[in-house]
C-alpha cells in the first residue's frame, strides 16, 4: 500500500475501532475520540458523551446496590449479634436471680427458725428494758446485747453462705 492511501493511514488501528464498537477499543483509542463521536455499545449507537453518562448511571446504581447489600448484611449481622447478647444476658441474669433467690430463701428460713426467733425476741426485749433499767443493769444488758448481736450476725452470715 502507498502511504497516501486511506488504508495506510488506518493500518495501526483495529477494524473494530473504525466501526466504533466501544468493547473493541483500547482505552487510548476511546480517550482520543471527541465527545460527539458515535460509538456502538451493547448493540446501540450513541455518542461518546451519552455512553459515558450511561456508564456513570450504571456504576452509581451498582454502587448503590452494593451499599444496600452491605447494609442489609450488616443489619442482619447486627440483629444476630443483639439476639445473642440478649440471650447471654438473660442466662447471666437467670444465674444471678437463682443465687439471690437462694440467699433470700436461706434468710427467710433462718428468720423463721426457733433459735433465731428466740435470740431476736431477746434482743428486742433488751431494747425495751434498757431505758428503764438501772445503770448496773444497763451495763449487763449492753454486754448481753453485744453477745446476741454477734450470735445473730454469725447465724445470718452462715445462712447467707449456705452453711
Cell numbers for 10: 488506518
State the pTM of this model: 0.46
For the chain, percent of residues with pLDDT exceeding 90: 71
Which pLDDT score, from 0 to 100, does residue 75 have? 95
CB-CB neighbours of 39 under 10 Å: 20
Higher pLDDT, 65 or 9: 65
Q: How confident is the model at residue 69 (pLDDT cuts 50, 70, 90)?
A: very high
The dihedral through the CA atoms of 64, 70, 71, 73 has a sign that is: positive
- Cβ-based neighbours of 20, under 8 Å, separated by 6 or more: 37, 38, 39, 40, 45
For the chain, where are the alpha helices, taking DSSP H only? 6-9, 15-19, 27-32, 48-111, 114-130, 135-161
**Residue 104 confidence (pLDDT) above 50:** yes
Query: Mean of the pLDDT values across residues 137-162?
Result: 92
d(CA 34, CA 158): 93
Cα–Cα dist 160/28, whole Å:
84
Amino acid at each position: 500500500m502507498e502511504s497516501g492511501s486511506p488504508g495506510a493511514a488506518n493500518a495501526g488501528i483495529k477494524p473494530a475501532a473504525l466501526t466504533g464498537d466501544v468493547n473493541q477499543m483500547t482505552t487510548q483509542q476511546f480517550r482520543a475520540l471527541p465527545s460527539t463521536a458515535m460509538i456502538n455499545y451493547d448493540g446501540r449507537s450513541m455518542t461518546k458523551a451519552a455512553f459515558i453518562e450511561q456508564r456513570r448511571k450504571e456504576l452509581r446504581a451498582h454502587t448503590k446496590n452494593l451499599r444496600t447489600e452491605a447494609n442489609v448484611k450488616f443489619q442482619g449481622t447486627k440483629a444476630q449479634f443483639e439476639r445473642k447478647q440478649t440471650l447471654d444476658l438473660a442466662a447471666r441474669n437467670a444465674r444471678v436471680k437463682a443465687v439471690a433467690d437462694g440467699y433470700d430463701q436461706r434468710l427467710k428460713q433462718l428468720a423463721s427458725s426457733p433459735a433465731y426467733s428466740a435470740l431476736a425476741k431477746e434482743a428486742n426485749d433488751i431494747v425495751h428494758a434498757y431505758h428503764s433499767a438501772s445503770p448496773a443493769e444497763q451495763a449487763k444488758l449492753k454486754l448481753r446485747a453485744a453477745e446476741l448481736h454477734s450470735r445473730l450476725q454469725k447465724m445470718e452470715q452462715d445462712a447467707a453462705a449456705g452453711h
